[in-house]
Structure 1
């Protein structure tokens, strides 16, 4: 979840002739093209990041990791992902958006599969960084391609296209839930990564044909970098960084918590992760009309509040019903917070400052994702165990809500 909203606004505008061709394309065909491109977030976040929570308990037991060690692997992936998002435009300029997208997606898929091979801590860390790097490039350029493919149509066209593309995250989460727990049960943690690698290769085979029906976008630089100042969205930026730290702690350790506290079976782990993934898919469409009406930081307050409620449920209602309700609430808000922040940035800045504004917010979010897993892992190694790490997630998200409450909205 990560550096989501740098993509459609950040880098691309189709050429006039390509815009005309895209607008003339059949609507359903265009959405299927975007669904193919959505395999990038499925690989980058669904398989490469979120699914780490499924494999983590078995890896930790077999390799003798502490929770801090396990959290550092999540941090390594986040560092690579942030770097990939930053250099994605350069790769698109240097090699062409379609070629860069295909190469990065293939590299991410192969690196996910290769994670099954080494047992060394530093080798695993290097692979997590590389997976994050390739995933960041693929996700950002894929979003640019989706924006080009979705050109034309009515006012609802752009949010629909964005919903289909970002919904790939939830699809990846749900698909990994259907396979990975059973692969781990039969073959150990290496089987889990092999399963994720196989899913990633299938995703690549679905994404590449979509490129034939996608116009080649042209990158552009922001029109006026001086038009952006961080001060108008300072509280939103602080809140968004805290959301990054709070959400990733839950996403990294909740499966380990459920296995330890409720003795979740592989089938129950699969069902829990499926519920979370399907909730992400549904939320990409359900939140749009709500966030369009909320002003200032209240979009982040609303999504952060639902996320916090999801984390609290797994702690205060330590039953299977509470756990599954937690998955639904957390999934419904985790990706929607990205839309909330992007919506505010688009309203508060002129178009030539959108890229700079969203870029600054993305850096804050990425920084939170880097800090969150390690901090939560260190706390989880203490006497209170994983519950303490999840409580830390609650308090971080509460701080994010408090910061967003101070955010006011002003016209450009």
Structure 2
């Protein structure tokens, strides 16, 4: 999922140069992927598709096939369709996996290992481009990524998901006592908490994707042609390590404090990027970006699951993916001429996300 979703970022500059694109085609194709991701989350959140073994395996195959399909045609329409389908597959994979974590994770470290897969995919994506772009063109780079993705698909094939029509109810330990009671006074409180969490996750999605989109642009004057791949490797390494770190932080100091710390570092990374005119600051900003966004997602989904929300991961990620669509659209309309303004907007969105998320986490009373 990490490669299928994120390989586009480091390889995009090579495609732009080879295909003589302006900035618009790349932005539209990226948006198509975000729309697909939203749809993939939505169909599970609405109950139209079950996150079972069949859905998961079809999405795995589709994600890899989409990587193979990108270099088939240079047509913008083809690229848009393929990347939309890749987004759908990514959404289905992510929600299917995260929805099952309470069933398989026995220690905080376990969930961290599972979430680390996304960062590993980002890291591999950047490494492919950095290592092979000097002797392979963009068509061949996509094929290399597809072959590696196929190998990971075989490894991931037997992730423990229920077969269709099997009982998939949550284990008792995954549902807090207050979620099991029929106390009618608890329902409005849970609804307020869920509304706050989803709104916060919307702003988190908007802020994170602005940084993820424009950090490589900010790095180009400093690193030159290797900017996208170099920055993506740093961000990917931080992303791969971060779930292990934040799962242990949350276990030690509590989810609310962990969320506050993680969000604060993410906002700090966005602000730091505004002043990042040298490699050290850019690398620190990339580390703060990669080292926090999965941590926030992991902990927020954990809070939603503890609240006893049905399909918590799907519902929260649906709003997250809406933010991913809205963030770049706002920047394109209002801030297209100022890269600094984009990062300021990202910092504001993340600060709003932090406030709303922490309010929802406090309202849920799930964190001891």
TM tier relative to shorter chain: 0.7 to 0.9
Q: Work out which of the residue numbers 284, 287, 304 in structure 2 matches 1:325.
A: 284
CA contact (8 A) 1:47 1:176 kept: yes
2:86 is aligned to 131
Q: 1:239/1:313 Cα in 2 relative to 1: closer, same or farther (>3 Å)? A: same
Q: 1:83/1:199 Cα in 2 relative to 1: closer, same or farther (>3 Å)? A: same
Give structure 1 stretches of 5+ with no counterpart: 1-43, 152-156
Q: Work out which of the residue numbers 92, 102, 105 in structure 1 matches 2:60.
A: 105
Helix, strand or coil: the match of 2:135?
A: helix
RMSD value over aligned CA atoms? Answer: 3.1
CA contact (8 A) 1:82 1:133 kept: yes
1:290 is aligned to 249
Q: 1:219/1:322 Cα in 2 relative to 1: closer, same or farther (>3 Å)? A: farther
Displacement of 1:392 in angstroms is 2.5
Superposed CA deviations along residues 213-241 of structure 1, whole A, max 9, x for unmatched, are x4745354799999575323433332221
Q: Please say if 1:56 is aligned against 2:18.
A: no
- Measured in 2, the distance between the counterparts of 1:307 and 1:146 equals 24
Indicate the larger mover: 166-175 or 269-278. 269-278
Q: Please say if 1:342 is aligned against 2:342.
A: no
2:352 is aligned to 399
1:274 is aligned to 233
1:121 is aligned to 76
Q: Please say if 1:409 is aligned against 2:366.
A: no
Aligned ranges for residues 230-379 of structure 1 at < 5 Å?
230-259=191-220, 261-266=221-226, 269-292=228-251, 293-294=253-254, 299-347=258-306, 349=307, 351=308, 354-355=309-310, 357-379=312-334
- Measured in 1, the distance between the counterparts of 2:312 and 2:55 equals 25
1:165 is aligned to 114
Give structure 2 stretches of 5+ with no counterpart: 171-179
CA contact (8 A) 1:178 1:274 kept: yes
- Measured in 2, the distance between the counterparts of 1:257 and 1:121 equals 25
TM-score by length of 2: 0.81
- Measured in 2, the distance between the counterparts of 1:215 and 1:197 equals 24
Aligned ranges for residues 17-28 of structure 1 at < 5 Å?
none
Displacement of 1:376 in angstroms is 2.9
Aligned ranges for residues 39-118 of structure 1 at < 5 Å?
44=1, 46-88=2-44, 91-92=49-50, 97-118=52-73
- Measured in 2, the distance between the counterparts of 1:256 and 1:364 equals 26
Q: 1:238/1:173 Cα in 2 relative to 1: closer, same or farther (>3 Å)? A: same
CA contact (8 A) 1:169 1:280 kept: yes
Aligned ranges for residues 21-36 of structure 1 at < 5 Å?
none
Q: Work out which of the residue numbers 145, 154, 161 in structure 2 matches 1:205.
A: 154
- Measured in 2, the distance between the counterparts of 1:315 and 1:246 equals 14
- Measured in 2, the distance between the counterparts of 1:216 and 1:359 equals 17
Q: 1:66/1:378 Cα in 2 relative to 1: closer, same or farther (>3 Å)? A: farther
2:177 is aligned to none
Q: Work out which of the residue numbers 140, 148, 156 in structure 1 matches 2:95.
A: 140
CA contact (8 A) 1:105 1:134 kept: yes
CA contact (8 A) 1:180 1:195 kept: no
CA contact (8 A) 1:183 1:195 kept: no
Q: 1:388/1:137 Cα in 2 relative to 1: closer, same or farther (>3 Å)? A: same
CA contact (8 A) 1:306 1:333 kept: yes
- Measured in 1, the distance between the counterparts of 2:149 and 2:231 equals 21
